[in-house]
Amino acid sequence: MNNSILDDKGRCCVFRSGENWFGINALAVRSIVPRPDIATLPHADASLKGVCHLQNEFLPVVSLRALSSIQYDTSADAEQQLAILLSPQGPWGLLIDEAATLAELEISISTYSDQSDPWSRVIHGSASWNNRVLQILDPVATQQYASRLLEMYWQSSDQNQPQLTCNWM
């Protein structure tokens, strides 16, 4: 079993973003905190909400809503939470709307990957929890997808703008 996707017992952190429910490897989640103040970055894609200072660290903050093209009401932004995820490059934040629980899930592994839809590679599989269908995210693929989006956005920006690179993902 790949520990980047699931821990040894299949435990996932279950959370909601918009109307969609997700799960992610419980071992990839360091903590979940109320949404901190986030400093926006110039010339950044909508998936990068900005940077926050939390627990003596500066963390890049990624919007799951923007990554997955979830329609949402921005009036709920203040109620969001920040999932601090661990990666080999260091911790990073994923904005979510509601953290629900840690649960041991029976996951159906996805064999579908649409090359024209890179988001499909982020979804490791699906599971059910409390009569809801969860999309199980691969934490490494999620971070790589966000990084690719940011690089593409910055590379396509106006040549007169300062060139930014994404070294944190």
Residue 76 CB contacts under 8 Å (≥ 6 apart), including other chains: 97
Residue pair 20/135 in contact by the 8 Å Cβ criterion: yes
pLDDT in tens, the chain (169 residues): 344 555 556 799 999 998 999 999 999 999 999 999 999 988 777 888 999 999 899 999 999 988 888 776 676 788 899 999 998 888 999 999 999 999 999 888 877 666 667 778 889 899 999 999 999 999 998 998 888 877 777 676 654 555 555 555 5
What are the residue ranges spanned by the domains of the chain?
11-155
- According to the 3-state scheme, what is the secondary structure of 132-157? EEEEEECHHHHHHHHHHHHHHHHHCC
What is the model's pLDDT at position 32? Answer: 98
Residue pair 119/69 in contact by the 8 Å Cβ criterion: yes
- C-alpha distance from residue 169 to each of 87, 119, 143 (Å): 8, 17, 7
Name the CATH superfamily, with its identifier, for domain 11-155. Answer: CheA-289, Domain 4 (2.40.50.180)
Q: What is the DSSP string of 7-53?
A: -TT-EEEEEEETTEEEEEEGGGEEEEEE----B--TT--TTEEEEEE
